[in-house]
Amino acid sequence: MILARVLLTAALAFAAPVAAIAGDDILDAIDQARKSYQDGNFTAAKQSLDLASQLVGQKNAENFGALLPAPLPGWKAEKVETAAVGTAMFGATSASRRYRGPDGHDVSVRITGDSAMVMQFAQLFLNPAIAGAMGKLLKVGDQRAIQTHEGSINMVVANKYLVTIEGSADAAAKLAYAQAVDIAKLSKM
């Protein structure tokens, strides 16, 4: 109960100045949660906060999608797909895009965040002995990455985002797409 009050107060303190500037679905859900909470309807307050959280996740997924690279020369890109799964499944927000090369092989780039699972995966990256057992350690720019035996590449960015590059294309193509991800912008999110 105390934790709920603290979270609600923090959400409202952040949202109140912004609500005066721009109304949107997220702020509306937070406002509805506040009203329900003040009326003693805790179930409705929680549902409204859950909705606000889901909507924030969707916005994050859209932002992730904007960071996916353009197709490399000679490649074609499919539409960006986004997903935001609430806390029921450990929570996760992601955006992915598939690219098809001139030889018919493909690469898929996915950015995942807002997940406790990513934080746990990040711990594996901190220990080079464990990370090395998962595949070949390499650097993608300043970023540490693991390239599996199949050539897939995984990078944990800012200890909260997982970038995964996989597909039927060769390891060099996957590495080129890993290098094309805007890690600097992702780190600042």
The Cα 149–Cα 145 span in angstroms is 13
What confidence tens digit (pLDDT) does each residue in 100-122 have? 999 999 999 999 887 777 777 77
Tell me the C-alpha distance between 31 and 16, whole Å: 9
pLDDT tens-digit series, residues 60-109: 778 888 899 999 999 999 999 988 776 544 567 889 999 999 999 999 99
Domain ranges, ordered by start, for the chain: 2-62, 64-187
pTM equals 0.74
Looking at residue 141, the DSSP 8-state letter turns out to be T
Please spell the DSSP secondary structure of 3-64, one letter per residue.
HHHHHHHHHHHHHHHHHHH---HHHHHHHHHHHHHHTT-HHHHHHHHHHHHHHHHHHHHHHH
Homologous superfamily assigned to 64-187: MucB/RseB, C-terminal domain (3.30.200.100)
End-to-end CA distance of the chain: 30
> What digits encode the pLDDT tens for the residues 110-166?
998 877 777 777 777 777 777 777 888 899 988 889 998 888 999 989 888 899 999
